[in-house]
Amino acid sequence: VAVKDPTAVERANLLNMAKLSIKGLIESALSFGRTLDSDYPPLQQFFVVMEHCLKHGLKVRKSFLSYNKTIWGPLELVEKLYPEAEEIAASVRDLPGLKTPLGRARAWLRLALMQKKMADYLRCLIIQRDLLSEFYEYHALMMEEEGAVIVGLLVGLNVIDANLCVKGEDLDSQVGVIDFSVYLKSDDDIGGKERDVQIAAILDQKNYVEELNRQLNSTVSSLHARVDSLEKSNTKLIEELAIAKNNIIKLQEENHQLRSENTLILMKTQHHLEATKVDVEAELQTYKHSRQGLDEMYSEARRQLREESQLRQDMENELVVQVSMKHEIELAMKLLEKDIHEKQDTLIGLRQQLDEVKAINVEMYQKLQVSEDAMKEKSEIISRLEDKTNQINATMKQLEQRLQQAEKAQMEAEAEDEKLKQEYVNKSESLQKEFSQKEKQLLQLETDLKIEKEWRQTLEDDLQKEKETVSHLRIETQEIIDLKKEFLKLQEKNKQLKRICEDQEAALQELASKLSESKLKIEDIKEANKALQGQVWLKDKEATHCKLCEKEFSLSKRKHHCRNCGEIFCNACSDNELPLPSSPRPVRVCDSCHAILIQRCSSNVP
* pLDDT at site 605: 37
pLDDT tens track for 475-510: 888 888 888 888 888 888 888 888 888 888 888 888
Measured on CA atoms in the order 363, 369, 374, 380, is the torsion positive or negative?
A: positive
Is pLDDT of 514 > 80?
yes
pTM: 0.35
- What percent of the chain is predicted at pLDDT more than 70? 83
CB 88 within 8 A of CB 115: yes
The one-letter amino acid at 442: L
What is the chain's mean pLDDT, rounded? Answer: 80
Residue 606's pLDDT band (boundaries 50, 70, 90)?
very low
Residue 249's pLDDT band (boundaries 50, 70, 90)?
very high
Q: Determine the average pLDDT of the residues in 238-259.
A: 90
**What length is written for the chain?**
606
Is pLDDT of 67 > 70?
no
CB 549 within 8 A of CB 573: yes
Residue 455's pLDDT band (boundaries 50, 70, 90)?
confident
pLDDT tens track for 28-52: 888 776 677 777 888 888 888 888 8
Which contacts qualify for 577-581: CB closer than 8 Å, 24 or more apart? Answer: 581/520
Query: For residue 240, how many C-alpha atoms fall within 13 Å in the half-sphere facing its CB?
Result: 14
* pLDDT at site 192: 58
Q: Determine the average pLDDT of the residues in 306-330.
A: 86
Give the span between the Cα atoms of 110 and 132, in whole angstroms.
22
Give the span between the Cα atoms of 182 and 478, in whole angstroms.
86
Q: Determine the average pLDDT of the residues in 131-155.
A: 88
In terms of average pLDDT, the best of 152-166, 229-243, 530-544, 547-561 is: 229-243
pLDDT tens track for 116-133: 888 888 999 888 888 888
CB 536 within 8 A of CB 566: yes
Is pLDDT of 444 > 50?
yes
Give the span between the Cα atoms of 141 and 13, in whole angstroms.
11
* pLDDT at site 410: 80
Sketch out the chain's domains with CATH numbers: 6-183 (1.20.58.900), 546-605 (3.30.40.10)
Give the span between the Cα atoms of 71 and 469, in whole angstroms.
76
Residue 308's pLDDT band (boundaries 50, 70, 90)?
confident
